[in-house]
Structure 1
Amino acid sequence: MLHAVKIEPEYFNKIIEGKKTYEIRKNDMDYVAGDCIALNEYKRGEYTGRFILTGIVSIDEYPLYLDTGYVILQLSPLGLEDNINHFESYVNPERFKGEN
């Protein structure tokens, strides 16, 4: 499954630079390890158009330290094939057989 979320520039830049490999999020999207998450930069109430596609490696709950319903998502950046930012780049064409 692909999840799309907003992220502030401060945190977005740390992930892009490889200085941050996790996100603390409310688990309101039923995140599962192996899912993909598109982190869309969001600044002053608007999307900037920049994003990074990452895979969720693991999900951790720390009830002693996090509010109920919040999790830590361990992320791993996914490469963009040929630098093309199109949905079709991430869709397995085998899934759409017979849709002609």
Structure 2
Amino acid sequence: MEHRLKIMPEFFQAVTDGRKTFELRKDDRGFAVGDVLVLSEWNGSDFTGREFRCVIDYILKDYDGLCPGYAILGIVPCHKSTYEKD
């Protein structure tokens, strides 16, 4: 399954740089290992046109310290990603 999600520029850059290898998200989409995330950069009012595709390789949920209904998604890059606006 593929999920299109908004991501703020500072987090988008950290993901594309490889410094951020996870997403903390509300678990309202039935995320599963193997699902693809399309992270679309959002500046607070508009999409910038930059996107990053990654695959969920680990999910942590229902754990002490993690708010109910939220999950930490471990992510790895897909081979096809668009880092810059066309």
Would the TM-score normalized by the shorter structure come out above 0.5? yes
Choose 1 or 2 for highest CA Rg.
1
Counterpart-to-counterpart distance in 2, 1:30 and 1:45? 27
Hey, what does 2:13 align to over in structure 1? Answer: 13
Who is 1:93 aligned against?
Answer: none
Structure 2 CA distance for aligned equivalents of residues 32 and 75 of structure 1: 11
Bigger strand share: 2
Q: Which residue of 2 aligns with 1:28?
A: 28
The Cα of 1:62 is off from its aligned counterpart by 5.0
The answer to which structure, 1 or 2, has the higher relative contact order (CA under 8 A, 6+ apart) is: 2
Q: TM-score, normalised by structure 1?
A: 0.77
Percent identity for Structure 1 against Structure 2: 35
- 5+ unaligned residues in a row in structure 2: which ranges? none
CA RMSD of aligned residues (A): 1.5
C-alpha deviation, 1:65, in angstroms: 1.2
Poorly superposed stretches of 4+, deviation over 4 Å = none
Gaps of 5+ in 1: 84-100
TM-score (normalised: structure 2): 0.89
Query: How many residues matched?
Result: 82
Q: State the Cα deviation string for residues 64-99 of structure 1 (Å, max 9, x = none).
A: 211101000000000118x7xxxxxxxxxxxxxxxx
